[in-house]
Chain A
Amino acid sequence: MGFHVNAQQFDQWLAGLKEDYDVYAPVCIRGGSIYSDADCIRYGKIDRIEDVVFDKKSEYSFKEAMIPVSETLFYFTEEDCTVPPARKKGAVIFLRSCDLSAVQRLDDMYLGNGPEDFYYERIRSRIRFVLMGCSKSFDSCFCVSMGTNTASRYDLCVNVRTDGFAVDCPNREWAEFFMHCGCEEQPVTPDRVTENRTKVTLPENLSTEVYRASLWDEYNKRCINCGRCNFVCPTCTCFTMQDLFYTENGKVGERRRVWASCMVDGFTDVAGGGSYRKKNGERMRFKVMHKVFDYKERNGYHMCVGCGRCDDICPEYISFSRILNRLEDGMKEVSGS
């Protein structure tokens, strides 16, 4: 059902969610940049719709509101493991179409690809999504190329209008609220981007043969393996287990899992000091192929959603979308045509 909702009505709705949910959206964190006297758009809890930043892309994806960067799996003693309780509240998360598409990737990784993940499931089952309509594309976005500009599995969609908000609300319980607070009914469809400045074309014949292409060498030096591209990515799911010991004998402590990056040193370290993909170009290749090849081999669709955050964050100005567009030449090079 569609409604015209003003800010006051929207805030009433948000207030009504408070009991059961924390509401997260892109917000402006004053002085939150790594640079002095500069702000940063990241996910934070909101109380009012005016807190939501609609006209800029968040530096980090909704993932930071959904999956803890560091999550305690259990506390252990010599004989026992205790799992910490689940979060008290569920979460309502504002996100764009690319990010909503990323949710499907997270689901397929955590709920599929081997057994279901207990910790993900207990968070995921209590999350509702609010789609933020995109009236315009940002420079680095390539959602149209990745087919992620039309995600539709939302509980509510909000488009910004000059006199308020155009809201589509498939969630019946929520729709009743808007009906009762006198919001005018109107047909609403999500604002969609239909063209991006950045366009990506992946070669039809892409295969692991492209490993041999020379394009990766450039990133041995250019990439500084900081991992920012992974941490801002809405679809990166890797983590590392850490054991923290409270006692001298190491028998009491906690195990947690922490976001990990395939670009950062140590990701492939095995016992005895061995490691794989030592060069940054190899790591870049691994990441790129994961996003637009390997994942598809297992799941039938690309992992990358084209949000462009990895392009925006890279301190070395390495453009992921440019690498994708270089794959075609890479394939030509290795197939000798």
Chain B
Amino acid sequence: MDTNTAALKKNAFRVTKERNVTCIRIRVPGGHLEAKYLPVLQEIAEKYGNGTLHITNRQGFEIPGISFEKMPEVNAALQSIIEGLEINQEEEGAGYPAAGTRNIIGCIGNRVCPYGNYDTTALAKRIEKAVFPNDLHFKIAVTGCHNDCAKVRMHDFGIMGMTLPRFDADRCVSCGACVKKCQKKSTGALTLSNFRPVRDPKKCIGCGECVLACPNHAWSRSEEKYFRLTLLGRSGKKNPRMGENFVKWIDEDSIVKIILNTYDYVKEYIDPDAPGGKEHIGYIVDRTGVEEFLKWALKDVTLPEIAEVTKPLYWKGVEY
């Protein structure tokens, strides 16, 4: 059977162990979807696949056991889900237009979690809209707070939600709850002085524990939402490493801009001989030097005044 495997992969199918049998990968940005799409997946799995469904590490689904010839039918059957999840598409009924840039992972965020500092699903969708479809190998994850349940530090771009805590001294009852919580659960940015908490902005990670702990609304959330952007974490065989702090107190617009800028940078510098056209961004940065990367990434980006950019950027990771 003649099949263009590159085209197949670009269409979000895979080459599997079994000859002429493939597997479709469903994108679910932010890992959240209306339950009404589950019967669609069930139908595809039972009609075209082997009746099973794999929940992927990246919060999507894979439906295995599909024969190559059924790919067009599967693509047609996927249309409602692609539209419903507002995935950018080039041709109606033709399935996913790319697979290189992976599904955007998100923890459950502030729709449910008390610690969530923003709507992770909404941000995941916004980024998805901005970056997809794209063949370049980008991994992006968003998480509601510094607990980092979404393990965003294992991604090229990791986004952690922050709130800038505001203190109203007139409402403080000197109970010390914020200080205790900050010391025990977070970075110990708060100390008690003259019966009231004093915040060390250097240590504060904007986790919001003080706001949650305060029994009298002396601490409250900033209207603005802020984030920490971590860079170039990766798994893999060569040199896995955690994403490093890049910008603290960054805003949503700047995050999206930096990610899009990085696509331009990668297009310019990716190894033309990279196997499958796939190269982790970090290796490219290792080659060009961080300064060149930053020049591209921060082009036309206006960071909020309070944003702090980590310099110098340095990664180590595991060497085999």
- Residue positions of A touching B, CB distance < 8 A: 31-32, 34-37, 40, 42, 60, 68-70, 226-228, 231, 240, 242, 244, 258-261, 264-265
In the assembly, what is the distance between CA of A121 and CA of B144, in Å? 47
Asked if B221 is at the interface (CB within 8 A of a chain A CB), the reply is yes
Residues of A near B177 (CB, < 8 A) are 226, 264
- Give the contacting residue for B217; candidates A34, A226, A244, A264; CB below 8 A: A34
Q: Please name the 6 residue pairs, one residue from A and one from B, whose CB atoms are nearest each other, closest first.
A: A36-B110, A228-B215, A226-B215, A264-B175, A231-B216, A227-B215
Residues of A near B172 (CB, < 8 A) are 69-70, 258
- Give the contacting residue for A34; candidates B171, B173, B195, B214; CB below 8 A: B214
Residue in chain B with minimal CB distance to A245: B194
Residues of A near B194 (CB, < 8 A) are 244
From known contacts A258-B172, A261-B175, infer whether A35 and B217 are also in contact, taking CB-CB under 8 Å. Answer: no
In the assembly, what is the distance between CA of A60 and CA of B214, in Å? 14
For the complex, count residues of B whose C-beta is within 8 A of A.
32
Beta-carbon contact of A37 and B175 below 8 Å: no
Closest Cβ of chain B to A71, distance in Å, is 9
Residues of A near B195 (CB, < 8 A) are 242, 244, 258
Additional A-B contacts beyond A36-B116, A231-B215 (12; CB < 8 A): A32-B217, A34-B214, A36-B161, A40-B217, A69-B170, A228-B215, A244-B194, A258-B173, A260-B173, A261-B173, A261-B175, A265-B176
Name B107-124 residues within 8 Å CB distance of A: 110, 114, 116-119
In the assembly, what is the distance between CA of A258 and CA of B144, in Å? 34
In the assembly, what is the distance between CA of A35 and CA of B114, in Å? 6
Closest Cβ of chain B to A14, distance in Å, is 24
Name B270-305 residues within 8 Å CB distance of A: none
From known contacts A36-B163, A226-B215, infer whether A31 and B223 are also in contact, taking CB-CB under 8 Å. Answer: yes
Q: List 22 A-B contacts (CB under 8 A).
A: A31-B223, A32-B220, A34-B114, A34-B221, A35-B212, A36-B110, A36-B116, A36-B117, A37-B119, A60-B217, A70-B169, A70-B172, A226-B177, A231-B215, A242-B195, A258-B173, A259-B173, A259-B216, A260-B173, A261-B173, A261-B215, A264-B177
B110-148 interface code vs A (CB 8 A; 1 in, 0 out):
100010111100000000000000000000000010000
Residues of A near B117 (CB, < 8 A) are 36
Beta-carbon contact of B119 and A231 below 8 Å: no
Asked if B79 is at the interface (CB within 8 A of a chain A CB), the reply is no
Residue in chain B with minimal CB distance to A32: B220
Asked if B159 is at the interface (CB within 8 A of a chain A CB), the reply is no
Residues of A near B213 (CB, < 8 A) are 226
Closest Cβ of chain B to A328, distance in Å, is 30
Closest Cβ of chain B to A72, distance in Å, is 11
Beta-carbon contact of A31 and B216 below 8 Å: no
Beta-carbon contact of A69 and B171 below 8 Å: yes
- Give the contacting residue for A70; candidates B118, B170, B223; CB below 8 A: B170
In the assembly, what is the distance between CA of A261 and CA of B194, in Å? 19
- Give the contacting residue for B221; candidates A36, A70, A228, A265; CB below 8 A: A36
- Give the contacting residue for B174; candidates A34, A37, A226, A240; CB below 8 A: A240
Beta-carbon contact of A69 and B173 below 8 Å: yes
Residues of A near B170 (CB, < 8 A) are 68-70
Closest Cβ of chain B to A284, distance in Å, is 15
Asked if B197 is at the interface (CB within 8 A of a chain A CB), the reply is no
Residue in chain B with minimal CB distance to A42: B217
In the assembly, what is the distance between CA of A244 and CA of B208, in Å? 28
In the assembly, what is the distance between CA of A265 and CA of B175, in Å? 8
Residue from the set A226, A258, A264 with the largest chain B CB neighbour count within 10 Å: A258
In the assembly, what is the distance between CA of A228 and CA of B173, in Å? 11
Residues of A near B116 (CB, < 8 A) are 36
Closest Cβ of chain A to B187, distance in Å, is 19
Beta-carbon contact of A69 and B212 below 8 Å: no
Closest Cβ of chain B to A51, distance in Å, is 19
Residues of A near B214 (CB, < 8 A) are 34
In the assembly, what is the distance between CA of A31 and CA of B175, in Å? 24
Residues of B near A70 (CB, < 8 A) are 169-173
Residues of A near B110 (CB, < 8 A) are 35-37
In the assembly, what is the distance between CA of A89 and CA of B114, in Å? 39
Residue in chain B with minimal CB distance to A244: B194
Residues of A near B208 (CB, < 8 A) are 36
Residues of B near A264 (CB, < 8 A) are 173, 175, 177
In the assembly, what is the distance between CA of A35 and CA of B225, in Å? 13
From known contacts A70-B172, A240-B174, A242-B195, infer whether A34 and B212 are also in contact, taking CB-CB under 8 Å. Answer: yes
Residue from the set A60, A68, A264 with the largest chain B CB neighbour count within 10 Å: A264
